[in-house]
């Protein structure tokens, strides 16, 4: 079945329908990872976005029930060049097309993703619509242009669990009876399961709290540390989280990832801004300014903490992006709090930055000596 991708600037790409047959609307972004489409689709940080994969063939290893990063697909739609209906992997349970249909996610294949990526790179990310209907382009464009963008909206509340829960350490391959060295509270702003797996891997007992949880309820759990998770959208409207983190600064060690990094930045007085087309992929070079090492990182964000807005006497910049010089990591000088803009748990992506979870363990142990 024929399908179209319409951009809000009026550009139209024609291809074939993939997944659910419905109109899918969202911010169109491109991801440069070569693998990991299942992890990408189920990453809550992609809520409200249509994901373009720059790697040309997608679907060739199918879908399994293990490589998920949340309870469902959170991406609004999927855009690829060539769909492989034949899949081969020892863990595969279904095709990508079946998976998209199961969760009602619309997609499009057989379009020139190189041309689309260049357009997004040159003119910036913009709203788009995937449609397999016969509705005229002009009508669809009017609908698209009236759709709200992600800027200025709190969409964290639309992805988080509304109840706290304990992460089952058996999911990470460790014994549930294994003695845990630290107890960690996780503020869920759209947390990926792999972050919870990595915390469990390094010996943490993990309880996940909704991002709306009050600071006193976090402290009532008596955790050794607090992790601020990843999540979707613009950080500035998530004012309740910024206020909570500000109240918790200095009261326990804090580790922020992605949106959690941005929320920490806002909590200490910084500002955030939107990138032209964001960082999405598994091959972004980041320099560790403390060790001088170059890490290849997994990233997924459209907003950054503005370096010039951070109070110099309070914060040290620890990591920078080698592509555009943006802030990728920081540490508070007075309190045991640090954060990174990228994803040290990867999934998909390289494992260069997993040492940060061990660093969090060290911070917790040193804080309570």
What backbone phi and psi angles, to 5 degrees, belong to 263?
-65, -40
Give the number of other CB atoms < 10 A from CB of residue 217: 14
What backbone phi and psi angles, to 5 degrees, belong to 91?
-100, -5
Antiparallel, parallel or unpaired: β 24-31 and 49-53: parallel
Q: What is the DSSP string of 8-75?
A: TTS-EEEEEEEEB-S-EEEEEEEE--SS-HHHHHT-GGGBTEEEEE-SSEE-TT-B-SSS-SSSS--B
Which residues are within 8 A (CB) of 200 and not within 5 positions of it... i.e. 6 or more apart? 167, 169, 171, 172, 174, 206
Nearest-angstrom CA–CA distance, 194 and 346:
8
Nearest-angstrom CA–CA distance, 59 and 68:
15
Q: Which residues are catalytic?
A: 258, 343, 345
Burial level of 349, CB count in 10 A (0-12/13-18/19+)? buried
């Amino acid at each position: 079945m024929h399908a179209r991708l319409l951009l809000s600037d009026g550009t139209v790409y024609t291809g074939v329908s993939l997944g659910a047959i419905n109109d899918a609307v969202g911010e169109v972004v491109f991801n440069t990872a070569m693998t990991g489409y299942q992890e990408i689709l189920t990453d809550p940080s992609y809520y409200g976005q249509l994901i373009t994969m720059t790697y040309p063939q997608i679907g060739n290893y199918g879908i399994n029930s293990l490589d998920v990063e949340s309870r469902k697909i959170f991406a609004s739609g999927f855009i690829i060049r060539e769909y492989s209906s034949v899949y081969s992997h020892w863990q595969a349970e279904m095709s990508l097309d079946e998976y998209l249909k199961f969760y009602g996610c619309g997609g499009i294949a057989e379009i020139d993703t190189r041309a689309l990526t260049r357009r997004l790179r040159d003119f910036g990310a913009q709203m788009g619509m995937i449609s397999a209907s016969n509705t005229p382009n002009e009508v669809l464009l009017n609908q698209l242009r009236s759709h709200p963008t992600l800027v200025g909206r709190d969409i964290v509340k639309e992805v988080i669990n509304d109840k706290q829960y304990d992460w089952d350490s058996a999911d990470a391959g460790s014994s549930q009876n294994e003695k845990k060295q630290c107890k960690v509270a996780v503020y869920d702003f759209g947390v990926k399961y792999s972050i919870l797996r990595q915390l469990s891997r390094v010996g943490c007992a993990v309880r996940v709290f909704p991002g709306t949880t009050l600071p006193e309820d976090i402290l009532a759990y008596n955790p050794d540390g607090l992790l601020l998770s990843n999540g979707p959208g613009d950080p500035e409207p998530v004012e309740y989280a910024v206020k909570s983190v500000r109240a918790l600064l200095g009261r326990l060690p804090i580790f922020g990832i992605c949106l959690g990094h941005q929320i920490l930045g806002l909590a200490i007085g910084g500002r955030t801004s939107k990138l032209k087309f964001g960082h999405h992929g598994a091959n972004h070079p980041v320099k560790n300014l403390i060790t001088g090492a170059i890490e290849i990182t997994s990233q997924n964000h459209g907003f950054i903490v503005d370096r010039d807005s951070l109070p110099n006497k309070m914060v040290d910049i620890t990591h920078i992006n080698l592509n555009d010089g943006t802030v990728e990591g920081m540490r508070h000088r007075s309190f045991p709090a640090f954060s990174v803009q990228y994803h040290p748990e990867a999934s998909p992506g390289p494992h260069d930055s997993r040492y940060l979870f061990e660093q969090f363990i060290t911070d917790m142990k040193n804080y309570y000596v």
